[in-house]
Chains A and B, each alone.
Chain A
Amino acid sequence: MALPQKRQDATEARIAALDTPGGGGWIRKARDEALARFRSMGLPERRDEYWRFTRPDELNAAAAPEAAILEAKETQVFGALDRLCIVFRDGVFDEAASDKLEGEGLEIERLADAARADIHWAKDLYGVLEARAQVPVVRPFAALNTAFAADGVVIRVTGRVTKPVHLRYLHEKTDSDAMLHVVVRLEEGAELTLLENGPAAARFNKCMEVDVADRAAFHHVRAQGRDHERRAVTHLFGRLGKESVFKSFTLTSNGRLTRNEVFLELTGDDAVAHVAGAAVGDGDFHHDDTVFIVHDALNCESRQVFKKVLRNGAVGVFQGKILVKRGAQKTDGYQISQALLLDEDAQFLAKPELEIYADDVACSHGSTSGAIDEDAMFYLRSRGVPESQATDLLVLAFLAEAIDEVEDATISEDIRSRLEGWLSRRRR
């Protein structure tokens, strides 16, 4: 079906503003198909079911809205860990600033290099998981990313890698419009911890496709921050094999617009998927978690834990769905989304969804929004804790359930101190 003319024009204008990346062969085909997908969907509009709570205008615009650079004084998150660090500046790989792309049990290549090969393992995944994630809900910016992302990284994990791989995204130009595409393949029994942080660009579109083979484990922790004016739309697509584990946690602080989309398919029996997020916003902050989990195997577990602390006009959105396909018996699905509203100007919009076609499953969901517990506040103050400090303690307590999803104690401590820093800068 052809798009209405106005939508088609906006879509074509968006395409026209982008440079077609080089690289022939296998990736050309994937990009062409993605472009065709994008054209058939068109850019999202406010009236689209999954864009009712988040205005897509700034993501739709042909040019990225400008974003000032934040001079962050605090220590780099994840900076103290022994890790393999890969640096992108405004969406462009910086070889000099990055560690050597090698490690035991790891094959890492820059996307542009992988794209030049005639035959490459990434061919079976690049744009493939993205295309699967387009059903039943379209994700136009993901297709756009597959079609136009010129840079990124492809990672193949063949063993139990203990040293985390860290993707660090620096933002240095006020008008940068970056797209990165990351492909991760964990072979049977392999393990990887992937870390991400940084504002990335004035406007950032990221697409990550993760294929977790049987008995493999993928741990993902990211800290999206801290520039106030950045806009981002990110996609995390995963496919889980038998007895595999997929755990992802995201901390988001500041940012005018962040939309984090997650689409996971549990295709092997006894797989476990946990997705969690903690977002803190003050003022001009709009944060959207749109999560879709598909259970398509026996005895799998999925867990969504999303917490938001909002004040001073900040807006939080949660759209989370659990789809249990016919035959996916013994599914254990859990979803919780909660917002702590620190004043009356903050807003939380939640849309939990369950769609279940199997009869022997346990699925639960809950969503709440509320203010600081006054009794707890008075109790703390009566013991001498000043109001601002008591607020911070209660905010951290509220976020704890989400942060506790991070298994590695050192990494979760990093996340906690990043949050404490954010809170202390906002003491009133």
Chain B
Amino acid sequence: MLKIENLEVKLEEEDKEILKGVDLEVPAGAVHAIMGPNGSGKSTLSYVLSGRDGYEVTGGTATLEGKDLLGMEPEERAAAGLFLAFQYPVEIPGVGNMTFLRTALNAQKKARGEPEVSAGDFLKLVREKSKALEIEPDMLKRPVNVGFSGGEKKRNEILQMAILEPRMCILDETDSGLDVDAMRLVAEGVNALRDAGRAFLVITHYQRLLDHIRPDVVHIMANGRIVKSGGPELALEVEQNGYADILAEVA
């Protein structure tokens, strides 16, 4: 599904290398997690994959189902099936959440040459998906993320994911700012989307999210590289001993 080879990235405005040769492959149906200390390049990886400005790719490739991601505009990546759940979802005053969701869904459908969804069908779809995430109708009427609590913002991200049905989902520290109940809700939302045709890359600092979203593979990222990969037990090791041991071991 997602294949990253020797990806090297620096900040556009400073001569600072952030990713120093990342190799990663996430097959369809799998859930991979990336853990790592602050400043290791985890969020940069998610931004570069989704096409945010400000980064310069100096080497390597990233493909989604064989298509070159790095040459596409952000909206083309979305239409191709990539989705980034933001660490800090953006507030957009003046744009209603429903308008936003429908515009996004129909823009993606249009880009893929599929028929657009009618207002009635869309309403039904949103009702169904928002119910499971305990999203109140009021949240749908309000402007995108404006005045939402931390938990509501993250649930809104998962609602977008459920409606847009991407093939490759990247979750950037979706657990940050969530209490236990909110985390459970979000994780249930994600788990409901797991299927053989969809892959997940879960970026997190903590093992606790991975108690709810069970990964198949855990990668440890440090200093711009994946330094170690393993099974779910790797996350437990980090939880118990911190990163120091692992980093010392691979140094």
Contact = CB atoms under 8 A, between A and B. Distances in A.
B89 interface: yes
B135 interface: no
Given A378-B74, A401-B94, A384 B53 contact: no
A52 interface: no
A374 B92 CA distance: 11
Interface in B143-163: 143-144, 160
Interface in B174-202: none
Interface stretch (A257-265, A279-287, A386-394): A386-394
Interface string B54-83: 000000000000000000011101110001
A401 B95 CA distance: 11
Contact of A384 (B90, B95, B99, B108): B108
A215 B216 CA distance: 71
A383 B160 contact: yes
A18 interface: no
B73 A381 contact: yes
Contacts of A401: 94
B93 A397 contact: yes
B51 interface: yes
B204 interface: no
Contacts of A389: 103, 107
Interface string A218-233: 0000000000000000
B94 A380 contact: no
A375 B78 contact: no
Report, as a range, how many residues of chain A touch the other chain.
Answer: 20 to 34
B94 A396 contact: yes
Given A378-B74, A379-B89, A384 B94 contact: no
A3 interface: no
Contact of B74 (A375, A382, A397): A382
Interface string B91-125: 11111000110011101100100000000000000
Given A387-B73, A389-B103, A382 B78 contact: yes
B226 interface: no
Interface residues of B, number: 32
B164 interface: yes
Contacts of A383: 78, 100, 104, 107-108, 160, 164
A77 B164 CA distance: 35
B214 interface: no
A89 to B, nearest CB: 38
A394 B92 CA distance: 8
A50 interface: no
Interface in A53-71: none
A13 interface: no
B95 A397 contact: yes
Contact of A376 (B79, B83, B92, B111): B92
A391 to B, nearest CB: 12
B206 interface: no
B133 interface: no
B243 interface: no
Given A389-B107, A393-B95, A397-B95, A381 B51 contact: yes
Nearest to B96: A397
A389 B74 CA distance: 13
Contact of B107 (A374, A375, A385, A394): A385
B52 to A, nearest CB: 6
Contacts of B91: 376
Given A385-B107, A393-B95, A379 B86 contact: yes
B153 to A, nearest CB: 11
A422 interface: no
Contacts of B95: 393-394, 396-397
Contacts of A379: 86, 89-90, 92, 144
Given A382-B83, A383-B78, A384-B75, 9 more contacts: A373-B92, A382-B86, A384-B78, A385-B107, A386-B111, A387-B73, A393-B95, A393-B103, A394-B92
Interface of B: 50-53, 73-75, 77-79, 83-84, 86, 89-95, 99-100, 103-105, 107-108, 111, 143-144, 160, 164
30 contacts: A376-B91, A378-B53, A379-B89, A380-B92, A380-B100, A380-B104, A381-B51, A381-B75, A381-B78, A382-B50, A382-B51, A382-B52, A382-B74, A382-B75, A382-B77, A382-B83, A382-B86, A383-B100, A384-B75, A384-B79, A384-B164, A385-B75, A385-B104, A387-B73, A387-B75, A389-B107, A393-B99, A396-B94, A397-B94, A400-B94
